[in-house]
Structure 1
Amino acid sequence: MTRPLVITDCDEVLMHMVVPFAQWVDAEHGVLFRMEDASFAGALKRKECGTPLEAAEVWPLLDGFFRTEMARQTPIRGALTAMAAIARHADIVVLTNVGPDHQAARAAQLSALGLDAPVIGSRGGKGEPVRRLLDERQPSVAIFIDDLAGHHHSVAAEAPEVWRLHMVGEPAIADKIAPAPHAHARIDDWAAAEDWILARLTENIPAPSPEIA
């Protein structure tokens, strides 16, 4: 058995993203971000007429933000302190869907804030990359943290032994997002989340395997 492993998302878990992104698309692209439900793409509307952006228009905006505007992001309250405490008990890997193109910039962003952890810039569901990490590292226990319910479903299907924590650390959208049904817990505050994570690490046992629909 090797050291426990915590696999965490970045945006809205470690770093604020939607608020600086909304400020940028408003100022630079004439787009309003108004999240009324769990749909990120549906929250983007043209200021001049109020029509939603097409799905094909959303990724270029996200790509542009991550390419040039990551300096606008700031840490979620308590995230870095919690990561420092967790690192005394487990290895940490940041698994973020910014894609390979922005992986190095994300690693540099977090390193500048004192979090020197491996960063994987993935695309799509996170179940497969989590499974690969488990197979490579063979941790005694593993915990996955993400703000998107779809990733919890993906991880539950591919790596059911992983404990899954649903966290939406951005207060501006947390109440718009329902608890992920395939997560073991929903906690949006890092002080409480740190306690929950450390308890799972202390127990050092795999998560119970659910039936995945």
Structure 2
Amino acid sequence: MTRPLVITDCDEVLMHMVVPFAEWVDAEHGVIFRIEDASFANALKRKECGTPLEAAEVWPLLDGFFREEMTRQYPIPGALAAMAAIGAEADIVVLTNVGPEHQQARIDQLALHDFHAPVIGSRGGKGAPVRRLIEQYRPPVAVFIDDLAGHHRSVAEEAPEVWRLHFVGEPAIAGKIAASPHAHARIDDWKAAERWIMARLAEKIPAPAPQPV
């Protein structure tokens, strides 16, 4: 019988990202990172004048960080211990929106922390790649973990039978991010998250179909 499947994001779920990213853009680019609204772009402001960066300026910074500075990242407390426990019961795939060009760097980054799992560097909504993983693994039950509400909506649309856990492991931003209405639970602590995930795996019951509005 096939094993359960856990599909997890990396940044702010397994590894801290915004804090090391903020430290880097401040020190190297004269940019201050402040989460003040739902827009990542608006959170990046020039230190000298306070004006937000143009949208076209944001991706080169993110690309530069993931290309050269991923070693600045460090694990979310409890994440890797939880993954070890979960991995005894389920297959784990890391689905991360760093793009295919940074996929190997992400594999290497996680390996430095003795975490080894298949990694998919994707782009855009995660519903379609989650659907493909479900068709590939054919698990009796699957859990999806991500910090971004938009991905929970995407997965809810493409793979509604997958349990969805909204997890934001960075305290600096967790309180500023509303719980996704498309997730089945919002938990920002790995001890509690591990208990919730293990319960779903033990039950081996797919997520209920969404009720019509």
Deviation at 1:37, TM superposition (A): 2.4
Deviation at 1:105, TM superposition (A): 0.5
TM-score (normalised: structure 1): 0.98
> Which residue pairs with 1:152 in the alignment?
152
Pairwise CA RMSD of aligned residues? 1.0
Deviations 1:23-51 (A, max 9, x none): 00001111000111222111000011110
Task: Give the distance between the partners of 1:170 and 1:211, measured in 2 at CA.
Answer: 32
Deviations 1:155-199 (A, max 9, x none): 000000000000000000000000001000000000000000000
Secondary structure (helix, strand or coil) at the match of 2:26 reads helix
Moved over 2 A (4+): none
Extract unaligned runs of 5+ from structure 1: none
Deviation at 1:210, TM superposition (A): 1.1
> Which residue pairs with 1:170 in the alignment?
170
Verify: 1:19 aligned to 2:50, yes or no: no
Identity %: 79
Extract unaligned runs of 5+ from structure 2: none
Task: Give the distance between the partners of 2:94 and 2:143, measured in 1 at CA.
Answer: 12
Secondary structure (helix, strand or coil) at the match of 2:28 reads helix
Task: Give the distance between the partners of 2:212 and 2:51, measured in 1 at CA.
Answer: 37
Give the conservation status (yes or no) of the 8 Å contact 1:156–1:212. no
Task: Give the distance between the partners of 1:60 and 1:212, measured in 2 at CA.
Answer: 41
How many residues in Structure 1 have an aligned counterpart in Structure 2? 213
Secondary structure (helix, strand or coil) at the match of 1:58 reads helix
Deviation at 1:212, TM superposition (A): 8.0
Equivalent residues in 2 for 1:112-123 (5 A)?
112-123=112-123
Secondary structure (helix, strand or coil) at the match of 2:48 reads coil
Equivalent residue letter for 2:158: E
Secondary structure (helix, strand or coil) at the match of 1:101 reads helix
Verify: 1:209 aligned to 2:209, yes or no: yes
Secondary structure (helix, strand or coil) at the match of 2:176 reads coil
Equivalent residues in 2 for 1:1-213 (5 A)?
1-211=1-211
Task: Give the distance between the partners of 2:90 and 2:38, measured in 1 at CA.
Answer: 31
TM-score (normalised: structure 2): 0.98
Secondary structure (helix, strand or coil) at the match of 1:32 reads strand
Equivalent residue letter for 1:22: A
Equivalent residue letter for 1:18: V
Equivalent residue letter for 2:84: A
